[in-house]
Amino acid sequence: MPELPEVETTVRGLRGPLVGRTFTGVTVLWSKTINTPIPELKKRLPGQKIEAITRRGKYLQFHLSDGDTLFIHLKMSGALLVEPADEPPHRHVRAIFDLDNNHQLRFKDMRKFGRIYLVDDPNIVVGKLGPEPLADDFTSEDFKALFQRRKGRLKPLLLNQEFMVGVGNIYANEGCFIAKIDPRRQVDTLSPEELERLYHAIRQVLNAGIMHKGASLDEVYRGGEYQEYFQVHARAGEPCYNCGTEIQRIVLGGRSTYFCPQCQS
């Protein structure tokens, strides 16, 4: 699933071709993709101009001229394509948004898990999300405060989008390694010094992911290079770059978790 850096990269790539364009029509090819009643979407969206495109957690936010917000969550395999209207769409395209320049915004989603929402109140979709880890006003003290009265293991908590947004499996694995913290640790045993390290490590790996345009791991998300810089993720059985110890893989919270048993002891 695309994480914060991959979604941020997608947002930045769409701003040029889409900001200032006006939606003129909607075609839905897979009804479950749309979380707004389809007749309502088809009535409300045409005629609205895209004023800005931003990101909230793993959601793309299209800020529209009538005050609505179009949210798109890519989930496991979603991708957004801007293509000429006369070019046949890919067979995995689930929704098509006509634009005022004879182009279309097409939502391609092989696994059909992606979701689209049109709302007049963004809180309907993102109101329960946690803070943005890269926000300028998100300090290490804010980060430490999130752990107050929390229990359970560290890695699953980092993946909880109501705890803090945008961090998925890759960047949780990498962040824990940079911070030299075992992802299996009980969060109520972490010291203020360890939380300080983790705060900076998570921001470091997310910023590095954005700098390298995300990670390309399969045919779904392509174009990023961060996979070339992984320290532990997807490196089971390989030597740690720091100490030479074999990287281990376990399943934690249902997700593949990679760590160095020496550096993160």
Q: Which residues are catalytic?
A: 2-3, 58, 255
Cα angle 17, 57, 24; round to 5 = 35
Tell the burial category of 151 from Cβ atoms under 10 Å away from its Cβ (0-12, 13-18, 19+). exposed
Helix (H, G, I), strand (E, B) or coil at 28: strand
- What's the per-residue H, E or C state across 75-108? CCCEEEEEEECCCCCCCCEEEEEEECCCEEEEEE
Cα angle 149, 254, 215; round to 5 = 100
User: Is the distance from CB of 94 to CB of 114 less than 8 angstroms?
Assistant: yes
